[in-house]
Chain A
Amino acid sequence: MEEKQVGTFNVKAGLAEMLKGGVIMDVTTPEQAVIAERAGAVAVMALERVPADIRAAGGVARMADPRIVKSIEAAVSIPVMAKARIGHFVEAQVLQALDVDYIDESEVLTPADPQYHINKWDFQVPFVCGARDLGEALRRIAEGAAMLRTKGEPGTGNVVEAVRHLRAVNAAVRRLISTPDSELPDLAKELRAPIELVRQVKEMGRLPVVNFSAGGIASPSDAALMMQLGADGIFVGSGIFKSQNPEAMARAIVRATLHFNDPKIIAEVSEGIGDGMPGLEMATLTPADRMQDRGI
């Protein structure tokens, strides 16, 4: 029998491919995880607090209590992700020891390293990372990320930053594809990204890994908007369990993500699902409030 190979990039990026077209939901208890699974979530993100509550609580936000992660793993059969602080490779080692399916090296938590991200090649478990533009995206892939999500502004219920970041990444990919080979080294320098990855994006005509949208998605129409703009799938953080009727909101966002090109269905699923989470206007955030500027 041929030897098995575990933890290969193919296997890491492969799980992200299987999540495409789906919705990944933040949950803080096994009960919420079951609600998410029943609503059709393709994965859950196990957290101590959703981003809106992290924002409200202030202070230092860390990896969740292992007990929360384990109880959520036991409650559902879909993949379970969990967040580690940017650069905190020991939190990541702990999450790998807890057998999570994906680690989100996330700006939602307080960064642990002012300069470096986790060297994700050291791990067998795959990582997803946030990005605001193509340079950030390629730097994270160079560090070993097998999946990306545009950052948006977490915990705000305001989709404007999610739109800004996805448009920025997609515009930069279009520009890269039409850049002559002779100018790619310069573009790589401008993006502060490895030339090999820049060439790979041109060859493939797209990012080499799956790119979900995150940070501020709070309604079925928000989810469909991000899908129409070209996201591979959706992360919803506070948008489900900070809404008036989480079960109805979760189901509606899943169906709107599937039928993102069908406004009649989006209208139908948006009807009578209660109020979305309370939102925040970007102008009210101080620079210290902005999670997206962490880990760039």
Chain B
Amino acid sequence: MRIGVLAIQGDVREHKNHLVKVGATPVEVRTLQDFSGVDGLIIPGGESTTIGMLMQEEGLIDAIRARVINDSFPVYGTCAGLILLAKDVVGPSPARIGLMDITAGRNAYGRQLASFEAMVPVPSLPGADFPAVFIRAPQIVAMGLGVAALAVYDGQVVMAEEGSLLVSAFHPEMSGDVRIHQYFVDKVRKMLGVPQ
């Protein structure tokens, strides 16, 4: 199973390490050619303005949109990735994929001093609460009826799913816990019809 990690900017290495631990083959995606060979894609944390702009220049936004719409291609966006997948963004909005029926508030918790860690209950995962790291994190300020909330923290939906799209406002790759990466890889496997 080849899972792409969008490698324009951000914490690409940490996502790749987690993918290896759950038995997937990580592939760095910078160009259309890289993208054509992957079964699913993770958009890492980073600066959404920078990542969106450079994705646009590489033609990756259109290519990802087309595969999501036509083939239910699985994409998981963390933090900046959540903003890039959101249909709407409050305030100045970066170039983005914009296919998930959510509205994202950028840096909605505040600047870096408001960044935090917390144990967050994620009912669809086996075992204990998940160690979540929020860094200048976005919030989901509104979501459509077709979107499922997978985790709620402090009254905010911090992880959500709609069809082939998965997002979290926090960074699962910043802790040693690989259960969310396992969840995404299982999702890709299911979409491809590969037995567990």
B-binding residues in A (CB < 8 A) = 1-8, 10-11, 14-15, 17-22, 37, 40-43, 73, 77-80, 96, 99-102, 124-126, 254-255, 258-259
Contact A101-B47, Cβ < 8 Å, known A20-B10, A77-B92:
no
Q: When the two chains form their complex, are residues A21 and B118 in contact, meaning their CB atoms are under 8 A apart?
A: no
Question: What's the nearest-Cβ distance from chain A to residue B49, in Å?
Answer: 6
Q: Check if B107 is an interface residue, CB within 8 A of chain A.
A: yes
Q: When the two chains form their complex, are residues B174 and A17 in contact, meaning their CB atoms are under 8 A apart?
A: yes
Residues of chain B with a CB closer than 8 A to A6's CB: 113-116
Distance of A37 Cα from B50 Cα, bound (Å): 8
Distance of A1 Cα from B153 Cα, bound (Å): 7
Question: What's the nearest-Cβ distance from chain B to residue A125, in Å?
Answer: 6
Partner of B112 from A17, A22, A126 at Cβ < 8 Å? A126
Residues of chain A with a CB closer than 8 A to B57's CB: 255
Nearest B residue to A123 via CB reads: B113
Question: What's the nearest-Cβ distance from chain B to residue A55, in Å?
Answer: 29
Contact A101-B129, Cβ < 8 Å, known A4-B117, A77-B106:
no
Contact A101-B46, Cβ < 8 Å, known A2-B120, A258-B8:
no
Q: When the two chains form their complex, are residues B45 and A40 in contact, meaning their CB atoms are under 8 A apart?
A: no
Known: A10-B133, A20-B46. 8 other contacts (CB 8 A): A4-B154, A6-B114, A6-B116, A11-B134, A19-B9, A20-B13, A22-B10, A99-B110
Q: Check if B181 is an interface residue, CB within 8 A of chain A.
A: no
Partner of B9 from A21, A101, A126 at Cβ < 8 Å? A21
Q: When the two chains form their complex, are residues B115 and A11 in contact, meaning their CB atoms are under 8 A apart?
A: yes
Q: Report B13-24 CB contacts with A as 1/0, cut-off 8 Å.
A: 110000000000
Q: When the two chains form their complex, are residues A77 and B117 in contact, meaning their CB atoms are under 8 A apart?
A: no
Nearest A residue to B8 via CB reads: A258
Q: Check if B142 is an interface residue, CB within 8 A of chain A.
A: no
Q: Check if B101 is an interface residue, CB within 8 A of chain A.
A: no
Q: Report B40-69 CB contacts with A as 1/0, cut-off 8 Å.
A: 000001110110011001000000000000
Distance of A67 Cα from B181 Cα, bound (Å): 44
For the A-B complex, the count of residue pairs with Cβ-Cβ distances under 8 Å equals 124
Q: When the two chains form their complex, are residues A99 and B118 in contact, meaning their CB atoms are under 8 A apart?
A: no
Distance of A160 Cα from B1 Cα, bound (Å): 44
Residues of chain A with a CB closer than 8 A to B122's CB: none
Residues of chain B with a CB closer than 8 A to A255's CB: 54, 57
Q: Check if B30 is an interface residue, CB within 8 A of chain A.
A: yes
Distance of A42 Cα from B9 Cα, bound (Å): 9
Q: Check if B91 is an interface residue, CB within 8 A of chain A.
A: yes
Q: Check if B119 is an interface residue, CB within 8 A of chain A.
A: yes
Residues of chain B with a CB closer than 8 A to A42's CB: 9, 46-47, 50
Q: Which of B8, B106, B115, B136 has the most CB of A within 10 A?
A: B115
Q: When the two chains form their complex, are residues A14 and B174 in contact, meaning their CB atoms are under 8 A apart?
A: yes
Residues of chain A with a CB closer than 8 A to B110's CB: 99
Distance of A125 Cα from B114 Cα, bound (Å): 10
Q: When the two chains form their complex, are residues B10 and A14 in contact, meaning their CB atoms are under 8 A apart?
A: no
Residues of chain A with a CB closer than 8 A to B14's CB: 17
Residues of chain A with a CB closer than 8 A to B8's CB: 21, 258
Q: When the two chains form their complex, are residues B136 and A101 in contact, meaning their CB atoms are under 8 A apart?
A: yes
Question: What's the nearest-Cβ distance from chain B to residue A48, in Å?
Answer: 21
Distance of A282 Cα from B80 Cα, bound (Å): 41
Closest 9 CB pairs of A and B: A101-B112, A21-B9, A2-B119, A17-B11, A4-B116, A42-B47, A11-B115, A22-B9, A40-B50
Residues of chain A with a CB closer than 8 A to B11's CB: 14, 17-18, 20
A-B contact pairs, 25 of them (CB 8 A): A3-B118, A4-B117, A5-B118, A6-B113, A6-B114, A6-B116, A10-B174, A15-B112, A15-B136, A18-B47, A18-B135, A19-B9, A19-B46, A20-B11, A21-B12, A40-B49, A40-B53, A40-B54, A77-B91, A77-B106, A77-B107, A78-B49, A80-B111, A254-B54, A258-B8
Q: When the two chains form their complex, are residues A37 and B135 in contact, meaning their CB atoms are under 8 A apart?
A: no
Q: When the two chains form their complex, are residues A1 and B154 in contact, meaning their CB atoms are under 8 A apart?
A: yes
Residues of chain A with a CB closer than 8 A to B53's CB: 40
Contact A96-B113, Cβ < 8 Å, known A11-B135, A21-B9, A42-B9:
yes
Q: When the two chains form their complex, are residues B9 and A7 in contact, meaning their CB atoms are under 8 A apart?
A: no
Residues of chain B with a CB closer than 8 A to A78's CB: 47, 49-50
Nearest B residue to A37 via CB reads: B49
Q: When the two chains form their complex, are residues B135 and A15 in contact, meaning their CB atoms are under 8 A apart?
A: yes
